[in-house]
Each structure stands twice: as C-alpha cells, then as structure tokens.
Structure 1
Amino acid sequence: MDPGYALTKLVRAYYDCRRHKRNSESALQFEMNLEDNLRELDAELQAGTYRPGQFQVTVITRPRPREVWASEFRDRVVHHLLHNEISERFEKSFIANSCACIPGRGPSYAAQRVDSCARSITQNWSTPAHYIKMDLANFFVSIDKRVVWPLLAAKITDPWWRNLAYLILFHDPRTNYIICCPERLLKLVPKHKSLFGKPAHMGLAIGNLPSQFDANVLLNVLDQFVKHQIGARYYVRYVDDFVLLHKSVQFLNDAHDRIEELLRTLGLALNEHKTIRQPVERGIDFAGHVIKPWRRETRRRTVHTALARIQAAPPGDVYAMTNSYLGLLRQTSSHHDRALIANAARRRGHCVDASLTKIFQHTA
C-alpha cells in the first residue's frame, strides 16, 4: 500500500466530484449510503481489487453527432482522486498557452490568449500578420494508449498511483456498458468517430476527466515541439484545435509540414478540411469566439443555438440557461447578441437588467 494514499484524499475527491455531478442518478444513489460506499471504495483501492464499473453511452448531436461514455459516480470519484494527486506535476510543464482541463484555462482564456497574440504580432492592429489554424482528425478515438502511457509513467513514480493510472487508462469501456439513447442516434455517429470497432488500445472515452487529462499530456508533446523546435512565439492550443501566428506565410507553411511529421509519430493526423490560412485582420475563429481587430465576438452558431435552446427549454430551465449564456457573452463585444438573448428570455416571462447581463425570475 502506498503511503501517499489516505481515506481523506478519497473524501476530498468525492467532494470535488459532487460539485459537478450531485444531481445525477448515480450520484444520488451513492449519497444515499455515503459513508459505507466511501469505505467500501477505500477498501477496494487499498486491497488493489478496485475495477471500473459500467459506462453509460449516449450521443450528443450538437454541434455534430458524437458518442459520450459516462462513468458511474464512484468511478468518477476515483478519477478525481488520481487527478488531484498527479495533475500538478504535469501542469508545471505545460506551456502558458495550453488550454482546457486546467483550472482557469477554459475557452474564454484560450480566446483571450489568441487576442493577446494577435494584438502583439500586429502591434495593436497596425501592421499585417498571418495565421494558420489546424485541427486534429478524429482526435479522441485516434489516441493510442500505448503512446500515452510512457508519458504518464515518466512522472508517476509511486507504484500504487502508477498502477491506478494504468488501470484507468487501459480499461476498455466496451467490456461493460449500457446504451442510454435511441439506437437511431448511435447510427448518426460515423464509424471512424466511434469507439465501437476500435482495438482495445485505441481511443479515449469522451466524457471522462482522465480522457481529457491524458489527451492534454499527449498534446504537450506537440506544444513543446511547436514552441521549442519550430520556435513559434505566437501559438495557442485549445484541446485539439491550435493556431500559430507569424509575419511570414512561409514560416507558417513550413510549421504545418513539420507538425504533420510529428503527429505521425504520435499516431495522429491533421484534418486538412479544417486547416485555415488567412491574414489575421480577417478574424480568427477559435474556442467559440471570433477575434477581430479591436474586438472579440461570440461565434454566430453559439448565439443561434442559445436562442433555440431558450425558446425550447422547460420553464424551470430558462433562468439558469439564459444567465449562463449572458455570462458567456459578457466576455465579448456582444451588446446586440445580449439583446437578442434578453428578448428571448422576456418572451419566456423573465425580467432583464438594464445592462443586459442578467435575468431575474418572474414573480407574481
């Protein structure tokens, strides 16, 4: 038994997990007999008999169909346990412009970093520059666990934690799952984007913390290569989308070719249909935002989706949903878009403040 593990760490992991999943069915079942469930899980971890449980498979259709493999709540607690123990030692080596699955580095942070890069390289939009934006093809289902493992093992020297990391990484979710959506939705997912039919060592399940973290560890190889081998000063990555900015178009084209070569060694490839080369002044669509000279806008698709969801949402969901979208839009130059969202909320019977930044529940 590794002395670095303790029940107190498991309890902390439970509270971290509960913060996001408290109202899920598996979370409620776990909490009904909380103390016994935690002690049972603790005993399994200490004895080395813990094994991941059943996955719930569903399909989300926006912005395009993809599978989501959700773990049971008790397994999510273990995911947080491992993440709390090892994440800091990896994040210390991540570059500042590596975004996603790092506290404080979500889509807004990523867009702000691109905005900062654009302003810097153009000297506050006064001189021309160019960018290339690239996207990885079928990223999560293309990840080879055998490539990820040496990267994890290099920084997890404690045998107990290393064994737990190995167990979680190499567990095949297809050995125990239940489908929680109509079969017609599963058929919408292209075969090359599905975990079904992949070898056991291929693909990470979308919908779990370890998958996001392991993907970040893998792509840190790309980040370090771009920054230190290619020498790109202006580079930002958000999950599997990344952008480079430079004065020279030839520099960007050469960088593209060298990145392609590196990705082949990792078992990954670019989606060339999504590669964009343009002058910076035309706008950079990145992480849900569009960075333009002197302003940052919300992607049009996000606004249209928000309007449709607010219109169709059950009455009890409108308040939280609308305030969430208004919070997102507050971070951009979006007065017109906020007005559209506010009007949609008014039509659902809610009041809006004068600055169009928050709605209030209607009271009789």
Structure 2
Amino acid sequence: MGYIVNTKHDTTTYECCSYQREIFNIELLYESYQKSKIGSDWKPQVQRFEMNLLTELTKLHKELKNRTFNFSPPNQFVLNERGKTRVISGDHIRDRVVKRALCDEILMPSIKKYLIHDNGASLKGKGTGFTRRRLEIHLRRFYMKNKSNSGYILLGDYSKFFDNIRHDLLMDMLKKIVHDKYALWLVEKVLDQARIDVSYMSDKEFKNSLNTVFNSLDYAKIDKSLLTGEKFMAKHMNIGDQVAQVAGIFYPHRLDNFIKIVEGEKFYGRYMDDYYVIHESKDRLIELQDKIKQQAFKNGIFINDRKVYICKLSELWRYLKIQYSLTSTGRIIKKVHPKNITRMRRRLKKLAKTMNEKEFRDYYRSWFLNHYKIMSRKQRDNMDELYHSLREVYFSKSKEGLDV
C-alpha cells in the first residue's frame, strides 16, 4: 500500500523549512528588481537599468558576492505632507534592488517573530487600517470587561523617530537574530551612509549627541562649509529607505514587549511612532507613561511630551487622523478630522486643473469610498457638491452621482 501524501502540509517549501537565499542570488535580485520598479518604471534611470537588465544584475551579483558593492549617495528633497515637513531620501534603482532583496529575504523573516501582534506598521496585511481595527477591538473588549465606558486612553508619540535611531543599538539587536554575514555587512554599509556629519559641534556637544534629540530639518539649515567630515554621529536613518522602514518596525520592539508583557497592558497598540494604551485608571496611565519614558530613553527613543495625552474614552480624542469616542452603550463613534476635509477640498481644486476627467473621477472616488463611513451626511453632501461643480467647470460634463 502506497503512502498517502497531504499536499497541503507535507510538501517542502521555503516557508516551512525556513530556507533563505543568499543576497547575491541572481533569481532573488531579479525578483527584487520586479518589485522595486513598481510605480517608478517611467523614470529614465529605471528604463536604462532595464535595457541592460542581465548585465546590471550580473554586475550586482559579482559585487555583492565579492563584497565590493557600494551604495550611491541618495537624492534628498524636502516634502510637505499633511502639515508636516520632512527630509526624504530617494535611492537609485540598483540600490533599491539590493535593499529590497536584503529586507524581503533576510531582515523581515528574521524580525517578525519578535514583534507584537499590535505592531501594525509596514507589514504585509497590516497598516493604518489594521491598527484602527485593533483599536476598535480593544475598545470593545474594554467595554465588555468593565461593563462601561468609564476609562482613559493614553496617546503618545516618539520625537523625531527616524532621526534618532541609534546605529549601535540597532546593530546589537540585529546581530542577535540575523546570522547571514552578507546581510549584516550590508546593514552596516547602510548605517555608515546614514551617519551625520556634526563637525560643527563642540567636543562637549558631540560627546552628548547620542543622548539629545536630533532634528534633520534644523540640520539642513546649517552652513555646509562647517561640515568638514571631522566628526560623525552614528544616529539617524533616511525616511524613504526600505531598511529604515524595517528598522522603524523593529527598533522599539523591546519597549513594545515591556508594555505588553512586563506591565501586562493588553490594550496597547503602536503604529510606527504613534502608540496608545487603554486602562480604567488615570493614575495607572500616568505611572505607566513615566515608566515608558524611562525605558524608551534606555533604548535610544525620545518621547515627545507635547504630544502625550490622557483622555476620557467618553470624550472625542484622535488617533491616526480619526476622532473616536466610546459611548455609555458601547458604541464607537468615529469622525474624520475636519482638517482632512479642508485639505482634500483644496487638493481637488488644484488637481481638477491638471488631471483628465477619468483620473479626477477615480481619484475622488477612491478617497470618498475610503472616508464616507466616518463623514457626516453634511460633509458627504458638501464634498459631492464640490466634486460636481468642479466637473462642470473643468470637464463640461453632466452631473453623475457616485455609486457608493
């Protein structure tokens, strides 16, 4: 009698045997290129890379295997988004291919097992939507446990999170869980490139630089003639760098575990640098915040005291751009922040001048379907009225309602 094979569970795959390809594997580099070009294949540098794809991938393979690969200096620009100004770095396509391979094949599989479930940033199947759903689950469970909405929520924020990721602490964490020598070598090269020239600092300032908050926006205003390359601060990662995004997920994991496991706070969640804790006692949350601040400093993280709030669950409070309130009956009220509506109205007026009708319709429809459940009827009517008036002015078409 022959063996019966369960093809669902008995077959050997990369996932079930924890198989990892080496960074310089040519198939891995090809897959990484296919992912890296998404959304940017219209750019000349990407098209030139693809014209000589086999040559470029072979060159990358040899450089990585022989450890002669070097990252190119990134393109930096200032981005104003949702009222925040950030310094963003954009990598060249060959660098993005290498970082994609590094993150997808080595770093992400290595760090996943150390992350709490309620860490919702930059992970497959997670994101802002996941974090918002988990917040609602925590609110419902709190209500079921306490039979009322008599409780508080602690809302906190890390100060200049990516600017203050310490390279020494990050490497110590990664060396304990990543055993691929090529991967660690590449991470060190990424961190070496992200170091900050602080030659303008006095010896006293430089000595204490790792223990003070660094701000890349203020740094961008410094006279470049003062940056002589004499002193470098091993802190800071570039927003826009995929390795930085992975670091942003993993770097605070000790703090996450401290809150979840050591302090036993089950109603805790975090999305990148924004976190919350729900508890029935305000005094407990005040005590907990002091402990969080101490533990954060030990792990190279600074808490932004101006953005730390303790609010009643029954009042309106905001997390990830949505206003929430828990009623006495257990109902969760959600409202879009009025500033989001104002920002979108201004954006529509500008985009109507540059988009064709289909692009404009699809753009508005995408935004509207994502927000209509948390808008009031008046807000929905006002947005629809603006949309139709802009269509009449710029596209001269008859009004057509949205199928929502």
Q: Is the 1:141–1:194 Cα contact (8 Å) retained in structure 2?
A: no
CA distance in 2, matches of 1:53, 1:26: 13
Letter in 2 for 1:282: E
Aligned amino acid, residue 22 of structure 1: D
Tell me the equivalent position of 1:69: 89
Structure 2: 5+ residue runs without aligned partners?
1-19, 198-214, 327-331
Is 2:140 the counterpart of 1:112? no
Distance 1:285 1:194 in 2: 32
**1:238 maps to which of 271, 275, 287:** 271
The CA distance in 1 between the partners of 2:325 and 2:179, in whole Å, is 46
How far 1:300 moved relative to its partner?
2.3
Matching residue within 188, 193, 200 for 1:171:
193
Q: Is the 8 A contact 2:149 2:313 kept in 1?
A: no
Q: 1:321 to 1:327 in 2, by over 3 A?
A: same
CA-to-aligned-CA distance 1:36-91 (integer Å, 9 cap, x gap):
22222222212211111121111112222221111112111111101111202211
Against the structure 1 CA distance between its residues 169 and 189, is the aligned structure 2 distance closer, same or farther, given a 3 Å change threshold?
closer
Equivalent of 1:129, from 146, 151, 154?
A: 151
Aligned partners of 1:172 and 1:200 also within 8 Å? no
Structure 1 residues 189 and 259, CA gap change in structure 2 (3 angstroms): closer
Structure-to-structure mapping, 1:9-24, within 5 angstroms: 9-24=28-43
TM-score, normalization: structure 1?
Answer: 0.85
Name the aligned partner's letter for residue 355 of structure 2. P
When structure 1 is superposed on structure 2, of 196-205 and 270-279 the one drifting more is: 196-205
Q: Match for residue 287 of structure 1? A: 320
Cα distance, 1:148–1:29 mapped onto 2, change above 3 Å:
same
Moved more, 326-335 or 93-102: 326-335
Are the aligned partners of 1:98 and 1:237 in contact in 2 as well (CA < 8 Å)?
yes
> Is the 2:32–2:100 contact (alpha carbons within 8 Å) kept by the matching residues of 1?
yes
The answer on whether the counterparts of 2:194 and 2:235 sit within 8 Å (CA) in structure 1 is: no
Query: Does 1:300 pair with 2:338?
Result: yes
Which segment drifts farther, 116-125 or 216-225?
Answer: 116-125
Question: Could you tell me the TM-score, scaled by structure 2's length?
Answer: 0.77
Larger radius of gyration: 2
Is 1:218 aligned with 2:251?
yes
Deviation at 1:336, TM superposition (A): 4.5
Per-residue CA deviation, residues 326-352 of structure 1 (Å, 9 max, x unaligned), is 243156455544444433332332765
Residue 122 to residue 172, structure 1, CA distance change in 2 (3 Å): same
Instruction: Evaluate the alpha carbon distance shift between residue 315 and residue 53 of structure 1 in structure 2; reply closer, same or farther with a 3 A threshold.
Output: same
1:4 maps to what in 2? 22
Q: Supply the distance in 1 between the matched residues of 2:104 and 2:156 (Cα, whole angstroms).
A: 31
Q: Cα distance, 1:324 vs. partner?
A: 3.3
- Residues 138 and 193 of structure 1 are in contact (CA less than 8 Å); yes or no, is this contact kept in structure 2? no
Q: Where does structure 1 lack aligned partners over 5 or more consecutive residues?
A: 176-187, 358-364
Q: Which amino acid aligns with 1:112?
A: R
Question: Partner residue of 1:267?
Answer: 300
Instruction: Map residues 300-319 of structure 1 onto 2, 5 A cutoff.
Output: 300-313=338-351, 314-316=354-356, 318-319=360-361
Which has the larger displacement, 66-75 or 236-245? Answer: 66-75
2:114 matched residue in structure 1: 93
Task: Name the CA distance, whole Å, in 1 between partners of 2:386 and 2:164.
Answer: 40
Percentage of identical aligned residues: 19
CA separation of 1:10/1:20 partners in 2, compared to 1, >3 Å: closer, same or farther?
A: same
- C-alpha separation in 1, matches of 2:400 and 2:254: 47
Give the structure 1 partner of residue 366 of structure 2: 324
| C-alpha contact (below 8 Å) 1:342/1:352 kept by paired residues | no
In structure 1, what is the equivalent of residue 218 of structure 2?
A: 191
Taking a change above 3 Å as real, the CA distance of residues 265 and 309 of structure 1, as seen in their structure-2 partners, is same
| Residue pair 2:196, 2:232 contacting (<8 A) in 1 also | no
* In structure 2, C-alpha distance between the alignment counterparts of 1:46 and 1:75, rounded to whole Å: 15
* 2:153–2:311 Cα contact (<8 Å) kept: yes
Distance change in 2, residues 1:295/1:260 (3 Å): same
- SS of the equivalent of 2:344 reads helix
Which residue of the partner structure matches residue 362 of structure 1?
A: none
CA 1:44–1:190: 2 relative to 1, 3 Å: closer
> For the residues of structure 2 that align with 1:78 and 1:320, how far apart are their CA atoms?
34
Paired position in structure 2 for 1:26 = 45
**Distance (whole Å) between structure 1 residues aligned to residue 232 and residue 363 of structure 2:** 39
